[in-house]
Structure 1
């Protein structure tokens, strides 16, 4: 179950806090890094696994990945701090792969399959036996058994069993991966096909052994702050409630300044601009130039669509994502600043690594990583007085964080600009659902539609870098939407600044805007 506070999450928080503290305090990074696993996993007996040495080895790899360093080769003699000099800098982008498997942390779970449990009663009806189309159900001593060499995993036996004695055993990482990118190596451990992977991070948060980890930029971000760089944080609208139900935007702003950030802006402002731009693009292109248009906000979804449906690539909106729009707006206003995007998404780290985006977004951190920074600085939100945060996005802009929110925002703009225009929308969340939506679009059933895709089930509020359970996040987001002063993206005061986003606003080309 996602986002329950557990040993895996506690360990991640400790690692992020330790890396942040290391960066803030400085000193001899090499010797301090070597000591960190002993500080995080003290004592002489294992707490989570059979060996404390294994636990510390895994923590060592987590520390390296959190600092943007690669996994070590287990067959060679090396130290946790190897290569740290190359990461102790204020500017470093993610080196592929972004999503990594710590092999000796992997439990080598069996592949997804159906199996008969002890609840089998050896009944007379034998519905499971009768329902199997491949004769995979065998009877031993009156009880059912599944021959895995014959089973096609259709699930009919499970549906037929009156006692619910047949279960579907899931390999969590494989089930979570909407790209079928996870296989296994010669030892049965999980293995990622990076040609298929779109870095959504769902495998990362669904592995109950914490064996899958993404790289981070905490170390480099803090170096930039210590160096005196003006770092402005831009925070995704899914932030509401992530750091506690009673934590207000004003308290978060104060806490961010205590971390050393110059300021904090909300990405929902960029979502407002994105909704307006996509609305104009839709009205101009559909159906005159293309049968439908798909939204561009989720990088994992758009990469999946281009990989598996290359013919649809021209139909994906060329509007910049809210992250990039917000970052570019801040850089036009403050040319000497650095931008740190704080959000729920692992795939945004990959988006920020693109050559066309690097000049706009310098750092990407998840809410979980930011929480580690708060822990490193001992920030207690209960001791921070509430202040005005001056957030000025519209309710639909805030709603971008939940599945269906982008489509609703774009539809709202179109209805305002052209009340006589009928807008048909459809949305899907989760890569398998997104793939099915595109299959239907290929049949022509969605001609004239606006298609919204989100890689994470539930939308950004269920991203791999979130802290709170998705349903709780949805409720908190709805409260935030209800408090928004504006009800239409077109009313955003930032519309006056939209010309700052383009070098030549009179003659810009949509195709060159990513």
Structure 2
């Protein structure tokens, strides 16, 4: 679940400051002042000193500007030069997700650790139950030999004083596919061949050391170019991010400078229609079950880690694709910007959806709104498309796709909604190949659905309330 923390706020402040400088046409000259302004000498440092804090901010800015930090020579280049290269489209960062090594604290390897709460009791259940004899007692206190420990956790479970705790590497611990591991220097490395771009590592890192490739500069250049038409297609989850009506939120997005705003929920209507027809066809053919395909992180998991499930995944395209196609039909020469909470959408758009030119996160959208002094609550209402139903907008939350398909095909089939790709759900999906749990299965990589995506602005509980209000209107 998304929780506010200072690392997250630092990232958002960097985005806001960069967009403000873009708006003022002062990015090249002004970007060098950001680290100093955010970490002045009279402010208590987070790391060892204010200079280290500023150095980390510089590297995060370089990442936001679209550059990969590969060697130490990058320290010889001023931020202004990176800014100019970014404006000239010379930013060469290829990875959608990368580790800012200067920010990574090289957390110690995950392990079980005996705290000072150990009482050295006579029972010593930790010692008796350890299957590898990794626990001994020194000075009346338990001690774990890490070389022998296999991390089973039995010692922690049986300790009557809860004196043994598990200390994880947060990013490694949440990755559902073990795509992030330590390099030789202790910092983290992301394996692109394993990564499904769910964004959980980025969301979890307490140092904000994992960042996605930003497109704020590209989007800004397009919306300010007089000879370009640019259309925003926001995901349905947008209605959970602000305390405003759907019409006001769409109006706020348009006020940034977009020529038009088209709901991705309109594309969700096409997805529902096509997926319902495909599902009925598969059932008539005697197929045991079918899963959804609108979550790109789930599709990535199937492609890279569960190929046995692939024959049962729907071939229907995601709402983003259908919405972008509608826009291209109406505005053939326009650039299309998808706005959503999902990191994996960047990968989907780049690899498989030529109709989408840029993907912008909700965090980046929020930065534009702050920089442009736009408050959705005070914006006028934009009329909503009458073709879009509450079922299409309901794609934003877990169970929404299932509800839309049930509405289309009726209640004569068994259905299941799976939230998250933890070990339990991965095992469930793999075993369904031989023992199906339901005929129609909705799968979302994020707990709670898209409203809890890694690039969301609002916490899940608040986003759910806002979505509920939007669907009731």
Q: Are the structure 2 counterparts of residues 39 and 385 from structure 1 closer, same or farther at C-alpha, using a change threshold of 3 Å? A: same
C-alpha deviation, 1:364, in angstroms: 0.9
Match of residue 366, structure 1, among 355, 358, 361: 361
Distance 1:301 1:95, change over 3 A: farther
Deviation at 1:46, TM superposition (A): 5.3
2:327 corresponds to 1:330:
yes
Residue 351 (structure 1) aligns with: 348
Flag the 1:200–1:323 CA change in 2: closer, same or farther, 3 A. same
> Deviation above 6 Å: which 4+ runs of structure 1?
91-94
Q: Is the 8 Å Cα contact of residues 126 and 158 (structure 2) preserved in structure 1?
A: yes
* Selected match of 1:430 from 421, 445, 464: 421
Provide closer, same or farther for how the CA distance between residues 116 and 289 of structure 1 changes in structure 2, counting only shifts above 3 A.
same
Partner of 2:384: 390
- Give the CA deviation at 1:196: 0.8
Are 2:459 and 1:460 equivalent residues in the alignment?
Answer: no
SS in 2 for 1:104: coil
2:137/2:143 contact within 8 Å kept: yes
How many corresponding residue pairs? 470
Residues 448 and 12 of structure 1: CA distance in aligned 2, closer, same or farther (over 3 Å): closer
Q: Is the alpha carbon distance of 1:399 and 1:39 closer, same or farther for their aligned partners in structure 2, counting shifts above 3 Å?
A: same
C-alpha contact 1:233 1:339 (8 A) present in aligned 2:
yes
**Cα shift readout 1:228-286 (whole Å, capped 9, x = no counterpart):** 2222211111122313xx32223323322321112222222222221221111111123
* TM-aligned CA deviation for residue 72 of structure 1: 5.2
Q: TM-score, normalised by structure 2?
A: 0.92
Q: Is the 8 A contact 1:248 1:386 kept in 2?
A: no
Q: 1:433 to 1:361 in 2, by over 3 A?
A: farther
With 283-292 and 365-374 compared, the bigger mean Cα shift is at 283-292
Match 1:165 to one of 149, 163, 166:
163
Q: CA deviation at 1:406?
A: 1.7
Cα-to-partner distance string for 1:361-405 (whole Å, 9 max, x where unaligned):
1111111111111111122445x2442541543222222222232
Following superposition of structure 1 onto structure 2, how do residues 72-471 of structure 1 map, counting pairs within 5 Å?
Answer: 73-76=71-74, 77-82=76-81, 84-88=83-87, 95-228=93-226, 229-243=228-242, 246-286=243-283, 288=285, 290-354=287-351, 356-358=352-354, 360-381=355-376, 384-392=378-386, 393-415=388-410, 421-442=412-433, 444-446=434-436, 449-471=439-461
Structure 2 distance, partners of 1:94, 1:69, is 6
- What's the secondary structure of 1:286's corresponding residue? helix
Distance 1:371 1:385, change over 3 A: closer
RMSD (CA atoms): 2.4
Aligned mates of 1:60, 1:256 — CA distance in 2: 29
Distance 1:209 1:157, change over 3 A: same
| 1:328–1:432 CA distance, 2 compared to 1 (3 A) | farther
User: 1:64 Cα deviation (Å)?
Assistant: 2.5
Mean Cα deviation higher: 114-123 or 199-208: 114-123
Which whole-Å deviations, capped at 9, do the CAs of 1:312-368 have from their partners, x for residues lacking one? 3333211110111111112212223221111111111111111x412x111111111
Query: Given that residues 413 and 439 in structure 2 are in contact (C-alpha distance below 8 angstroms), is that contact kept between their aligned partners in structure 1?
Result: no
